[in-house]
Each structure stands twice: as C-alpha cells, then as structure tokens.
Amino acid sequence: MLYRLFFFSLYFLFANFLNAQCCSQGSPINGTTNVGTVDKNNVRIILAHRYNYGNTYYDHTNKTDFKIAEESNFNYTSTIISYGLMKKLTLEAEVGYFFNKTLKYSFSTKTNYGFNNVVGTIKYALYKNTEKRIEITPAIGVKLPVETERRVINNVTYPYDIQTSTLAYGVVSQLFFLKRFSNNKTSLVLYNRNENNFDCIAEEYRYGSTYSLSSFVSHLFTPRIILTLQTRADYKEADFQFEKNVKNTGGFVGSVSPQVSYEIAPKFFFYSLIDIPIYRNFNGRQLSSKYSFSVSLIKNFCL
C-alpha cells in the first residue's frame, strides 16, 4: 500500500524555484515530477492546481523595505498524462495554464494569463531491487514553448517577470532514488531536477537554468493516508540578456513542505501540500514567495 500511494503522492513533492521567486518565469508545479514510472499499458492522469502569494522583498539574505511591486500571486492548473509504453519505460506529457499571474503596484496592477511550456518526458526504471527495497529512475525531457513573444495587452509589453512561459525551448533532467524501510511504512527519497533554458526565440533573453535537490521522508499514517515532510534546496542562475547577467535575478532558496495524500478509492487519490521558503540568498533585490498551496486529483487505470 505504501509503495503504490507513495508514488502517486510524489506529483507535488517537488515545487520549483518559481515558488521562491514568485514572479520568476517557470512551471509552478514543475511538471512531470510525479517521478515514478507507470506499469506497461497503464495510464496515470493528474489534475492539479497551485496558488502562490508573495509580498516581501529580500536583498540577498535580508528583508528590505524597498519595493517595486506591493505583492504577487498566481493561480495555475495543469494536467499530466503518463503512459507505460514498456515494463521499464514511461512516456509523459504535461500542459498547464495560468488563470492569472499578477503583479500589484501602488499605482496599478498587471495581470498576465496563458499557457505554460508543454513538457514531454521519458522515464526509465534503471534499477529496482525488491529485496533491498531500492529504486533508481532517471528521466530526460524537453520543454516546448506555446508562445514565442512577450504578451502585449493594451499596447503595453509585459515584463519578463510575469510571462507565462520561457518563450524558448529547454531540457529537463531528473534523477530519483527511493529506499523503503523494512517496516514497509516509511520511505526515504532523494530527488534531483535540473531545467536548462535556451535563448528566447523572438528576443535576446534567456531565463536562468534551475537546479534542485530534495529529500523526503514519508510515513503511512493510516491505510489510506500518507504524511510526508520535504526539505528542498533550489538554485537558479541569473537571467541573461545582451551578453551579460540581468541584475536582480537568480539565487538560492531553501524550503520545507509538509504534505498529505489520501486514497479516495482504489487507484484514485487526493493530494495537498503547503510550500514555505525558510532561507533565501538572492542576487540583489527580489520579491519572494511567502507561501504556496497545492491540491491535486490523481487517477491510475489500465488500458
């Protein structure tokens, strides 16, 4: 039971750097992070929503009264479909939509909306030892832009901070390690995810690549409920434009994320988490996320 529910719950166990730099572009749910492969001829469908809010600027590691925007928030919904092509090989695709991506100033409010990048991923169960209860799964994927130019609303070109996609192609790599303990109720996961962005198609701008390392301890609290505590370290490179780094972009964030998953019915799950940054070291002054909250429904079935 723990093994099955644990893999479904992993969809939200990784929240990307966007939640720490709440106006930075990126996928807020960091698609294809349910991590586990799917059995051959099985399909997994995930419907998820995330809300993010921030109202505090940081100058490197310190809070600052300096403000450009008063606050930022977004609402983002995504769908992920995974298909078990072979016993060890899973194909996965994600599409997501920002219902709003908002910056509120003292004198005005700017709100963008639209599709995020489409993400396609191949996952391979490289090593699985049932006796030792160990599994290793690497993955590689691509990000495809739905839009290639910055959004223009009422003849105003919106800043890079609130674009809904990277406006460029990119590469996503992942590495997942799982260890289940002998009581079969507790698991430890180490998870690495990297996203490398190319230059924007229509403009000379590149969003900084992101690198993340997470650890998770999960425990089967009841036959239907799993409790998880995640700790995560995220690093984002500075954005790049006109052959130099863009000021006040990139940095390091450490976060904690308590999470709960519940089995509603066989192979049908509800999942929720809250993500809280606890340490920030930005390049310059940046508006930081204060918290984000996510919920999802996850269904698995055989064709």
Q: Residues 242-291: pLDDT tens digits?
A: 889 999 999 999 999 999 999 999 989 999 999 999 999 999 999 999 99
Rounded to whole angstroms, the Cα distance separating 46 from 65 reads: 40
- 10 pLDDT tier (thresholds 50, 70, 90): low
pLDDT at res. 203: 86
Structural domains of the chain in order of their starting residue, each with its CATH number: 2-302 (2.40.160.40)
- What is the mean predicted confidence (pLDDT) over 126-138? 90
Residues in the chain: 303
- What is the mean predicted confidence (pLDDT) over 84-107? 94
Share of the chain above pLDDT 70, in %: 88
- 20 pLDDT tier (thresholds 50, 70, 90): very low
Rounded to whole angstroms, the Cα distance separating 121 from 91 reads: 6
Radius of gyration of the chain (CA): 19
Higher per-residue pLDDT: 206 or 182: 206
